[in-house]
């Protein structure tokens, strides 16, 4: 079998409360809800999000065609909600991968201007892991989503400056 035509379609994060997470990813980061799948007999729902700048072609109206379109995209984010976690006071959340034992690290969203984006995050009360001028890597930031997952924020021009120095 050849490897041509393969692409990374999506990354999945488990979320405690889909409404809170959807608000974060759509209203704070600018993603768009592309599709929702409910598996009520198995007690979970899937929410697929994408950023317009990264999507190929228009999203079809027909659901079957939209599912095939969704499965052919790159860089989609899947949020998985297991029913009941949103109202379980004893639910402690999911491992973010950045505490021991380390594993998964973060997802990343590129923005036109890191500093402007971070000013907005600050105004919205978003929790920072790293602000753009903290540490030795200037011009990129890390914020936390509602479940504690890290989201790296950088601009293409800023990343070039970090790596190449120009």
The reply to whether 7-87 and 104-166 are identical in fold is: yes
Identify the residue whose tokens are 């402690």: 92
Q: Flag whether pLDDT at 93 surpasses 70.
A: yes
Give the model's pLDDT for residue 30: 96
81 vs 24: CA distance, rounded Å = 15
* Count of CB atoms situated within 10 Å of the CB of 87: 9
Which residues are within 8 A (CB) of 106 and not within 5 positions of it... i.e. 6 or more apart? 97, 98, 142, 149, 150, 151, 152
Is the distance from CB of 145 to CB of 151 less than 8 angstroms? Answer: yes
The pLDDT, as a whole number, for residue 36 is 96
pLDDT range class, residue 2, cuts 50, 70, 90: confident
Give me the pLDDT at residue 121, please.
Answer: 98
Predicted model pTM? 0.91
Q: Please answer whether residues 124 and 28 qualify as being in contact, where contact means their C-beta atoms are separated by less than 8 angstroms.
A: yes
98 in Cβ contact with 30 (< 8 Å): no
- Domain 7-87 part of CATH 3.40.190.10: no
The closest of 103, 114, 108 to 145, measured between CA atoms, is 108
Q: What is the pLDDT of residue 160?
A: 87
Give the residue-averaged pLDDT of 91-105.
89
Mean pLDDT throughout 125-146?
95
User: Span 88-116, mean pLDDT?
Assistant: 92
DSSP 5-22: T----EEEEEES-HHHHH
**CB-count exposure of residue 14 (10 Å: 0-12, 13-18, 19+):** middle
Given a contact cutoff of 8 angstroms between Cβ atoms, the answer to whether 9 and 67 are in contact is no
Q: Which architecture does CATH list for 104-166?
A: Roll (3.10)
Query: Across residues 65-85, what is the average pLDDT?
Result: 95
User: Is residue 43 over pLDDT 80?
Assistant: yes
Which residues lie closer than 8 Å to 71 by C-beta, 6 or more apart? Answer: 9
Residue 95 has pLDDT above 70, yes or no: yes
Give the residue numbers marked as catalytic: 152
For 51-70, what is each residue's pLDDT tens digit? 988 899 999 999 999 999 99
**How far is the C-alpha of 17 from the C-alpha of 40, rounded, in Å?**
16
Ranges of each domain in the chain: 7-87, 104-166
């Amino acid at each position: 079998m050849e490897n041509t035509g393969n692409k990374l379609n999506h990354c999945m994060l488990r979320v405690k409360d889909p409404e809170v997470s959807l608000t974060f990813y759509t209203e704070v980061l600018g993603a768009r809800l592309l599709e929702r799948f409910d598996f009520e007999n198995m007690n979970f729902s899937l929410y697929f999000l994408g950023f317009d700048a990264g999507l190929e072609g228009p999203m079809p109206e027909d659901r079957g065609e939209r599912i095939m379109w969704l499965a052919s995209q790159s860089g989609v984010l899947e949020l998985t909600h297991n029913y009941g976690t949103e109202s379980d006071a004893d639910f402690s959340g999911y491992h973010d991968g950045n505490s021991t034992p380390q594993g998964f690290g973060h997802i990343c969203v590129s923005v036109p201007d890191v500093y402007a984006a971070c000013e907005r995050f600050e105004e919205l009360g978003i929790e920072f892991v790293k602000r753009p001028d903290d540490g030795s890597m200037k011009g990129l930031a890390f914020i936390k989503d509602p479940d504690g997952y890290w989201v790296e924020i950088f601009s293409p021009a800023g990343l070039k400056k970090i790596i190449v120095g120009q």
